[in-house]
Amino acid sequence: MEIFDIFLLEAVVNGILLGGLLALLSLGLNLIFGVIDVVWICYAELIMIGMYAVFMLHTQQGWPLLAAMPAGIAIVAALGAALHQFVIRPVLAAEPINQLLVTGGMLFLLQAAATLAFGIDFRNLGVRMQPILVGEMSISAPRVIAFVAALAGVGATWLLLSRTFIGTAIRAISQDRAIMPLMGVNPDRVFVITSALGGALAGLGACLLVLQYDIHPAIGLSFGPITFLICVLGGLGNLLGGLVAAFIFAQFISVGGFFFHLEWGYVIAFAFFIAVMFWRPQGILGGK
């Protein structure tokens, strides 16, 4: 194959790998929106906190990565539950706009807290892995790990939602919140559990991102907006739509970034998004 084609193919493969990761990120946000009807503008900042948690536990406390990562997931899950309990719950009955903005305030707060605690330096976990060679292509090992783990996370979430009582309750509450008490379900509790689950997914995302990227307080901004666009493109609250949209977007970013600068990949993805908004504003898989 021509060198150019190999690189292009690599970009496509990388796009698929990135798609798995974006799918995981959008799943948590989508789940929370679908169930609680609130968008966590600070979702990517929770991921940033998770990345720092794994980094600090591993490099400062000397925990092995395989212990630091579950701890990181637990920390972000607890953070998600706390976010709901102390920030979202007081405004749950207020205008939807207030719920949105209150998480916008949390974005500021978390970013600034991370800057205060960890400084503005770029940190790196320093994990080095041999690239995986497939024919003439070389694929980064952390990306493959991230892809597999992200899909496993998506699969586990799907099993939880479809097979368990609490999972069924999580899906049911988004369809009819008012009658949940008649089923013996305490809606407040389901909301907190959902928030913790969304946090755990963000924590898993953090574990996978920290393998590939440098950490800094503003890193949330590099994938927060893209996650929002994916959720809107897939139809807010539509889990399956979000997954499909994640893979489409990842291709635009990866292949677009291959031909131009990485920023242009994002810009092209956004342009595509706007075009879809004109064509199918309810999202690609949304019904009428």
Angle of CA points 179, 183, 185, to nearest 5°: 90
Nearer to other proteins, 91 or 144 (CB): 91
CB of 251 to other proteins, least distance (A): 18
What is the β-pairing status of strands 137-139 and 132-134?
antiparallel
**Minimum gap (Å) between residue 93 Cβ and other proteins:** 11
Nearer to other proteins, 54 or 231 (CB): 231
Toward other proteins, which CB reaches closer, 138 or 186? Answer: 186
Q: Residue 31 corresponds to which tokens in the numbers above?
A: 């789940």
What minimum distance in Å lies between the beta carbon of 141 and other proteins?
A: 29
Give 67 or 275: the residue with its C-beta nearer to other proteins: 275
**Chain residues in the site for other proteins (CB under 8 A):** 33, 39, 41, 87, 90-91, 94-98, 100-102, 104-113, 115-116, 120, 165, 168-169, 171-172, 175-176, 178-187, 217, 221, 224-226, 228-229, 231-232, 236, 261, 263-264, 266-267, 270, 273-274, 277-278, 281-282
Residues 6+ apart with CB under 8 A from 145: 208, 211
Residue whose token pair is 């207020």:
94
Give yes or no for a contact between 37 and 168, defined as CB atoms under 8 angstroms apart: no
Q: What is the CA radius of gyration of the chain?
A: 19
Q: 247 or 270: whose CB is closer to other proteins?
A: 270
We find the least distance from the C-beta atom of residue 23 to other proteins, in angstroms, to be 18
By C-alpha distance, which of 31, 20, 6 is closest to 157?
Answer: 31
Among residues 180, 178, 285, 179, the alpha carbon closest in space to that of 237 is found at 285
State in angstroms the smallest separation of the CB of 194 from other proteins.
15
